[in-house]
Structure 1
C-alpha cells in the first residue's frame, strides 16, 4: 500500500523552531519527527511513501535522502498551502490505488497504522482527549463516524480526529467537489463529513497518539521516546567521567573527565561534553554540540551546532541550531508559585500544562554573560540577548535585547 505524509505547512504555532524548516524536521530523541512517521509506516507494511512538501522543503528533502529507510520515498511540492484537502490532491498523479494519509505533525504506532490500512473502506483514526474544545469533536455511531464538529462549544473528554486515514482512490473526485472554507482553504474535514453522512467512514481507535502542536509538545514526545532507548557507547569516555543508565554516545563524540551523565541521554557525533558538567535524564544533544565546564542540562534538546560552554543552567528547554549561551547564562524552568507555565503564542496566552518549562530558543541566538531567561520564554531566531539582561515573554526574530 502507498502512504502520503502531509508535510508542507509552516507550523506557525511552533515558531521559532519552524522559522526555517517544516514541522517534520523538529527534533525528538536524537531523530526527527519525519523519521518516526516513516518507520511506523514501513513497519505497518507500506512500501511507497509520498511526502507532500512546501515550507522549508530543502531541509526535509536533504535529511530524508540521506537516510536508509528501506522504502521508496518521493516528494511532491504543494506550491501554495491551500489546506489539507489541497495537499492530498497534489499526490493524485503518483498514488496507486487506496492509500494511507498522515498529517505531518502526529506520532502514532505501526500497529495502529496497520489496523487502519487493513480494511477495505474509508477509515479514520480517532482517540480520546481530556479537553475536546481544542480540537474538532468526532461523533460516533457504532464503529462509524457520524460527523465532525469543528471547535465544539463544550469542554471535557471527547473523541477527536487523530489525523491518520485510509483513503480510497475516489477521494480525489470528492476533493474536486468541495468549496474553499472561510479561510480560503480546501479542508479535508468537508470530505470526511460527506463520507460520514453516508456511513462510509469507519472509526479506528488508536492505542497511541501524540500531536506536535506547540513547542512543549516536542519535550513531551522526547521524554516518551527517551525512556525506551538502549544505551550504546561508541564514542570516547575519558577516565574520571561517570556514565549511568542508558546513554547513547555516537562515534566521534567525547565525554571528558569529571562529567556526570545520568541516562537516558543521547549524545550525537561530533559533540563534546565536559569537563566537569552534569547531564540529567531525557537530554538529547544533537551533532556538534558542546556542554562545557560547570554546566547543568536537564530534560532538554540541544540542536545541531549549539554551544553551552561554561557556567550555565538549562532546564526543560529546546535550544535551536547554532546558538551560543554566554558564560553564566541561566534558563529558569520553574515559577516561584509552582503554577503551570503560560506562554504567549501568536499573541495569545496558552497554558502549557507543564509546571516546569524553560525556554524555547530559535536558531542562531546568542546570549551575553550572566543573561537570565525566565520560565516559558520564547526567543526568535537570529536574536542577541545582551550581557546581564533579564528576558521573558515572547521575543521576535532578529532582535537585539540590552
Structure 2
C-alpha cells in the first residue's frame, strides 16, 4: 500500500517561519511535523510514499532523502494550488488500482493504524469539534458509515470534522470522481476539494466507514503549534541529546534538547523544544519552540516560537520570530 502526503501548501498562518521552511518541516517536540506522520505510517508497515510538493518542495525532498533513505519515495509537483482534490489527482498514474492512504501533511493523530489498514472498507478519520465550519464535515449513521460529506459548510449538518486521514480501497472510483468535480466545476471557495470527490464516491455506491481518533494535534497556527508541542512532549517524555552541553542549568521536564546545543546558567522548561547547535545563556525558556543554530542571551521567553539562525538578547517578551533574524533589546 502506498501513502500520499500533500505538502505543497505555503503555511501562510505560520509566517514568518514558513517563508524559509515548509510547514511540514517546522520543529515539534524534537522532530518535525512530517516526521511524526511518516514514522507513524512506517511503523505500521508502509514504506512507499508519494509526496505532493510545491512551495519549497526541494527542502522536503532533501529532508526525506537524508532522514529516510530506506523508503521508496516519489514526488509530484503541484504547480497550481487549486485545492486538495487537484493535488490528489496528480498522483493517478503512480497509484493505479492499489488501495492507498492519503494523509494531509499537517495531520498528526493518535489512532490504531493497523485497525484502519485491515478494514474491508474505505475509511476516513473523524473527530468532534466545537466549530466545524472550517473543515470537511461528515454525517454518519448508527453503524459508523458516512451518509453525506460537505466541505466547509456555512450551516454544518453535524460537528463531526474530517481530520485529514483517508484509506481509499477504490482509487479508480476516487480518480473518476475527481475528474467529475473538475468537469462540473464543483468547488468550495474556488478550490477543488477531496471531500467533494468522496461525496461523489458515496453517490456512486462506495461504502466509506469512519474511525475516531484519540487525539488530533493542531499544527495550523503559532498558538496551536505550541500547544501541540507541549502535548507531544508530555506524550514522548524528555529527550536530551547525548552531545548537548548543560552547565549550571535547571531542566524542568518535559523538554527536547537537540544535538550540540549548549545551555549555560539557564532554566529550560517545561514544554520547551530546543533545536540542534543552539546556545542559550542566562535565560529562562518555557513553553517555547527554539530552532537550530540560534543564540539566546539574557532573555525570558514564554509561549514563543523562534526560527533557525536567530539571535535574541536581553528581553522578556512573547515572540514570533522567523529564520535568520537578529534582535538586540540591550
TM-score, structure 2 normalization: 0.85
Matches within 5 A, 1:361-380: 361-368=306-313, 370-374=314-318, 377-380=319-322
Distance 1:270 1:188, change over 3 A: same
Q: For residue 323 of structure 1, what is the aligned residue in structure 2? A: 294
Offset at 1:198? 4.7
Cα separation, 1, equivalents of 2:151 and 2:329: 47
Residue 245 (structure 2) pairs with residue 272 (structure 1):
yes
Between stretches 9-18 and 149-158, larger displacement belongs to: 149-158
Secondary structure, counterpart of 1:166 in structure 2: strand
Cα separation, 1, equivalents of 2:194 and 2:241: 39
Post-superposition Cα deviations, 1:39-94, rounded to whole Å, max 9, x if no partner, equal: 22233332422122222222222222123575422222223322111211121121
Matches within 5 A, 1:136-215: 136-142=136-142, 143-152=144-153, 158-167=159-168, 168-170=170-172, 171-178=174-181, 179=185, 181=187, 183-198=189-204, 200-208=206-214, 209-215=216-222
Offset at 1:105? 0.6
Secondary structure, counterpart of 2:50 in structure 1: strand
1:226 to 233, 256, 267: 233
Larger Rg: 1
Structure with bigger RCO (C-alpha 8 Å, 6+ apart):
2
Post-superposition Cα deviations, 1:177-227, rounded to whole Å, max 9, x if no partner, equal: 212636443211221222234552423222333232223333343334433
Cα separation, 2, equivalents of 1:276 and 1:210: 34
Distance 1:25 1:52, change over 3 A: same
Cα separation, 2, equivalents of 1:276 and 1:79: 51
Secondary structure, counterpart of 1:18 in structure 2: helix
Secondary structure, counterpart of 2:17 in structure 1: coil
Cα separation, 1, equivalents of 2:255 and 2:238: 5
Cα separation, 1, equivalents of 2:239 and 2:178: 43
Contact kept, 8 Å, 1:319 with 1:361, in 2: the verdict is yes
| 5+ long unaligned stretches in structure 2 | none
Post-superposition Cα deviations, 1:301-348, rounded to whole Å, max 9, x if no partner, equal: 22233321x22111111123332223x2222x3xxxxxxxxxxxxxxx
Offset at 1:154? 6.4
1:305 to 261, 273, 277: 277
Corresponding pairs, count? 322
Cα separation, 1, equivalents of 2:176 and 2:133: 31
Distance 1:329 1:157, change over 3 A: farther
Cα separation, 2, equivalents of 1:166 and 1:296: 41
Distance 1:136 1:17, change over 3 A: same
Moved over 4 A (4+): 152-157
Distance 1:80 1:305, change over 3 A: farther
Give the RMSD, CA atoms, in angstroms.
Answer: 2.7
Cα separation, 2, equivalents of 1:53 and 1:268: 31
Q: For residue 239 of structure 1, what is the aligned residue in structure 2? A: none
Distance 1:94 1:88, change over 3 A: same
Q: For residue 262 of structure 2, what is the aligned residue in structure 1? A: 290
